[in-house]
Each structure stands twice: as structure tokens, then as C-alpha cells.
Chain A
């Protein structure tokens, strides 16, 4: 009869709808704006203070000599806290948020299909990871260029690269850091299938990101370190050598893939058979 004869389409409409919703939500927009404010605050603070020799994150002192370092500094500052915080909010909200609104049952009877819905939700969270990282870098590059001199960049290895190559490095940074957040997103997605209270899943995800970083600095747990999803988060320095060292990139990619596989499977295992009673 009515619908069953018409062919089913690829179902990309739901993905489009999900990404639109992720970026049109006020809360998520506010978080992106807050992330953009990080490099701006850093740059303005450095510009206003004449004395830049004080203690601070790596690269901070270099900023006044070269505006291109603003993005790098902002990223380094954001990785331990701000970035996982925003990613935790979005990933923890994926399923639990829909369950909380009650819209989960309507998506499922539409029918979205449980696996497809999980994939779409994860894709939305991944898109947010990318946007969150990109906005820090882009805002950093822009404010750096506006407030400080921009010269050819001297890398950690002592080599000098020009603007074009710097742009390539920025793109690599964005790729590296957003990829770093994918494991955490998968954990958030899984936690999100366990509850109908989004705040609970968000908080648990953020707490785990802090716990992982704390464990990563305890020397007694050295054997555990390579298995922690946050282990390579600050490995961005590798991308600033010449030639580029992709060691961290590879190890990180493998680790994140492992987390995606494990927590993706757990999320599906939980969600595929779960009674949706909200």
C-alpha cells in the first residue's frame, strides 16, 4: 500500500537533520563561542601585558614574537579541560537527550532504526569535535594575525616554514586534536545509552576524561598509560617538527579507533535491545 512500495532512500536526511540540530542548538553555539574566546583572551592578555617572560603554558612567550603561535597556545590550553568538557556535553547528550525529551521513541517508530540512529548520533558528535577544534585554531590564527607580527615560523626543530606550510600544519593540528576527541565521544555515546538523564551522561563523560588524564601522570601506572584515551592528547608537538613526525598521529589514531570499536560495540549492545520507556 501507501509507503511500502516506494523505494527506501539512503537516509542521509537524518544525518543532515542531526548535524543541523547540533549546530543550531543555542547551548552548543555558546560552547563554540566560549572555545573561540580562549585564543582571543590569551592574545589580548599577552598583548596588554608588557612582561611576557613569566611562567605560563608552552609557546606563550613566543606569541608576542609571532602571532601564529596563538592558535597553538590556545589549543594546548584547551585540550585538557575546555575541549573535553564541550565534547562531553555533546556526546553525553546524544541518546539520553532524546530519551529525556521523549523524542527518542518517535525517532524509533519513524523508524530510524537503532543502529542507524546510533551512527547518526555519533557522526553528529564527531562533527562537533571537528568544529570545536577548528574554531580554536581559526580564531587563534585570526586574532594572532590581528594583534601580533606574522613572520615565517621557527619550528621546535629549528627549521623555518612559510605561511602556506603553516596552514598545512594548522589543518594537521585540527585533524589530530579532533581525532583525539573521538574516543571520548564514543565513551559519551555509550554512557548516553545507559540513562534518560543527559546531565548524568555528560558529567560521567567529563569525569572520565579528567580521570584518564590524572592516571596518565601517575608514574606507578606507567604500564596503563599507552591504553588511556587521553595519552596522546598533547602529542601535537610532533606535528611541529620538520620533517613532520607522524608517530604520535599513528599511535593516537589506532588508540582512538580501539576506543571507538569497544565503546561503539558496547553502545550498540546496550541500545539494540534496550526498552525505550521514556
Chain B
């Protein structure tokens, strides 16, 4: 895969359930090799998007390209290269963990029957289920089922992993192992697309992020982009207060006296790139003693983007 290629690309992707738009005009671009966080509160359309990517649900309108091929036309040739966990794991309760994996692996026509046992055991080992491999899956705890679901996604080497809320039901230990697993898979060159409603999850593992709210994409970019966009005010410390005030005004920013005598603060009303602001100040000859971009935390930013309420979006 060439650098700069996109592992997943959607244009105007829309899914309507009756009168409700579960996914509304979604344009996402997942760079190859990235760990892409797909963030949004419950009911914001993450799982529905993933179902459309994987051909489980048809889009009402819009286009999808995955690993360079149009979907769902190329489903049968693309899906063997994609491992996925969708809306939690699913098991055959009457089969052992190992037999569960063998069953799902047998559905993949590209997966060799000859290497099946070895691959199943390797996948079980990778998620730490080797000791419970022979146990009937109905006796698995929620976290063990989740691990089995991840193992299923890892049965063959994949170019893309799509993991829908992979840490649901995992204990803190398991959550950490999951983060490490994602990192190690990414290091092997697998693109990882991981959805979550928890910012902390995404923040710790992802290079890129897209934020969903009520079916719409409200932000997308690298994690650093999102942090930069979250800056709400700047504080300038300088003896050249008048000049600084003038420069800020040129950017349409109202400045107030800052917390100390030789300082100014200005609220960022529109999205002014902070680095350009500092550059402008320096070019104008403002002698800076300090320049602080005060972030709303990423969490504040997330809440600002997706809404405060606890109610599930309808």
C-alpha cells in the first residue's frame, strides 16, 4: 500500500431507518497505517456506519471505498483482508472457544483449512484465551467473549481491522491489553479503525479521530488538529501591549487586560490558527514574554462537539 492511500473513504454516506437519519452525509477518510478513532456518544451512528462499511447493511445513499475498492461491489475480495468486531462479540454457546473460531474461519474461502488449527491457536494465544480454549463458550464471561471476538478478527493477517467498541466489558487489565494489542497491530502495519464513546480510549491509542454526533460528522483530523481546534483563548504577555492589541484586532479578536499588568487575553470566537496568531505577533515586532493557548481540554471539546445532555440522541 502506498503512503497517503486511504484504507477507508466514504462520500455522502447516509443511512435512514424510517424517518430517522442514523448516519447523515458522512465523509470520512481513514489514512492507511493510521489508528483511527471513531468517537461519538451512544446512538450517534458508529455501529450503523461500520455495518455499511462491512456490507451488512446497505447505504441509503453515498459511496464507500475500502482498501482501494468500491464497496459493496468488491465485498468478497476485500473482506478477507478485513478483521472486524461489530456491536460486540457473538458466539455459538454450545461450541468451545476454539470450535467457535474454527467455524467462523471456515466461512472464509481464502483461509486455508490446512493451517486452520494453527491460526486459531495463535489467535487465541494473542488474546490470552489459550487456557479457556476448550471451554464451552456459554461459560465465558463478558470479557472472555469480547476477547474471543477480537481473536476472530485476527484469524488471518489483516490489512484493516474495524473494532466497534472493543473495550466494552473488559476489566482494566483487559482494557490495557487491548490498547497494547492495537498498538502492536498498528506497528505491524495494520490500519486500525476503532470506535468508542470514551474519549480517553481514543486519546491513548489513536493518531486520527473523527467525531460523530447524532449521525453527522462534526470533526475529523489528527488528534493534534482536534486539540488545536479546542483552543478557546490566548494569553499574551508582553511589554508592547498596544501593539499586541492592534495585531489581535486585525484577526478580529477583542482583547481584555490579562491576569497580570503586562498581559492581554483574547477569546477565540472563530477558529483562528494559534500558530499563525503567534507568528503575526512576532512579525509585528511584539516582544513576547509569554504566549499561552488555553485549551479547553479535549474532553471539553468533545462535549462541545457532541452536546452536553445525557439523553441518547434521537
A residues neighboring B (CB under 8 Å): 1-4, 6, 8-11, 13-14, 16-17, 21, 24-26, 101-103, 105-113, 117, 273, 275-277
Contact = CB atoms under 8 A, between A and B. Distances in A.
Q: Is the interface of B mostly helix, strand, loop or mixed?
A: loop
Contacts, number: 106
A103 B91 contact: yes
Interface string B89-127: 111111100000011111111111100100000000000
Given A105-B90, A110-B105, 20 more contacts: A1-B1, A1-B81, A2-B157, A4-B81, A9-B113, A13-B116, A103-B90, A105-B51, A105-B87, A106-B86, A106-B90, A109-B84, A110-B108, A111-B76, A275-B51, A276-B51, A276-B56, A277-B51, A277-B56, A277-B57
B152 interface: yes
Contacts of B109: 8-11, 113
A113 B80 CA distance: 11
B295 interface: no
Interface in B213-231: none
Nearest to A110: B107
Contacts of A17: 102-103, 106-107
A4 B104 contact: no
B80 A101 contact: no
A3 B81 contact: yes
A106 B159 CA distance: 18
B207 interface: no
A107 B111 CA distance: 13
Given A2-B157, A6-B110, A21-B103, A105 B86 contact: yes
A111 B74 CA distance: 11
Contact of B107 (A2, A3, A107, A273): A107
A9 B77 contact: no
A113 B104 contact: no
Given A1-B159, A111-B107, A106 B152 contact: yes
Interface string B57-78: 1100000000000000001110
Contacts of A1: 1, 81, 159
B210 to A, nearest CB: 21
Contacts of B112: 6, 9
B158 A103 contact: no
A98 to B, nearest CB: 9
28 contacts: A1-B1, A1-B159, A2-B157, A3-B157, A4-B80, A4-B110, A6-B112, A13-B106, A17-B102, A17-B103, A17-B107, A25-B94, A101-B93, A102-B88, A102-B90, A103-B90, A105-B51, A105-B56, A105-B90, A106-B152, A107-B104, A108-B54, A109-B54, A109-B56, A109-B84, A109-B86, A111-B107, A275-B58
Interface of B: 1, 51, 54-58, 75-77, 79-82, 84, 86-95, 102-113, 116, 152, 156-159
Given A3-B157, A6-B112, A109 B81 contact: no
A2 B51 CA distance: 23
A113 B94 CA distance: 24
B13 to A, nearest CB: 14
Nearest to A102: B90
A142 B3 CA distance: 70
B314 to A, nearest CB: 17
Contact of A108 (B1, B55, B159): B55
A112 B108 CA distance: 6
Contact of B92 (A26, A101, A276): A101
A108 B92 contact: no
Task: List the 3 closest A-B pairs by CB distance, nearest first.
Answer: A102-B90, A110-B107, A13-B106
A117 B157 CA distance: 23
A11 B107 CA distance: 7
Contacts of B105: 110
Most buried by A among B76, B87, B107: B107
Nearest to A24: B94
A104 B119 CA distance: 22
Contacts of B86: 105-106, 109
Contact of B106 (A4, A16, A113, A275): A16
B107 A112 contact: yes
A4 B90 contact: no
Nearest to A113: B76
Contacts of B113: 9, 13
A263 B23 CA distance: 34
Contact of A8 (B95, B103, B110): B110
Contacts of A11: 109
B90 A21 contact: no
B106 A109 contact: no
Contacts of A10: 109
B94 A4 contact: no
Most buried by B among A11, A109, A277: A109
